Amino acid sequence: GSCGHRCCPGRNNGCWAPGTRHTQCYCDSYCQRTGDCCEDFQATCRRTAVGCAVGPWGPWSGCSSPCGVGSKTRSRQVTVPPRHGGEPCPDLKQRRGCLGEHPACGVAK
Specify the pLDDT at position 48. Answer: 64
H-helix or E-strand containing 42? helix 41-44
The ranges of the chain with pLDDT < 50 are 108-109
Q: Specify whether the CB–CB gap between 27 and 15 falls below 8 A.
A: yes
Specify the pLDDT at position 58. Answer: 96
pTM over 0.75: no
For residue range 17-45, list pLDDT tens digits in order.
888 778 889 988 888 889 998 888 888 87
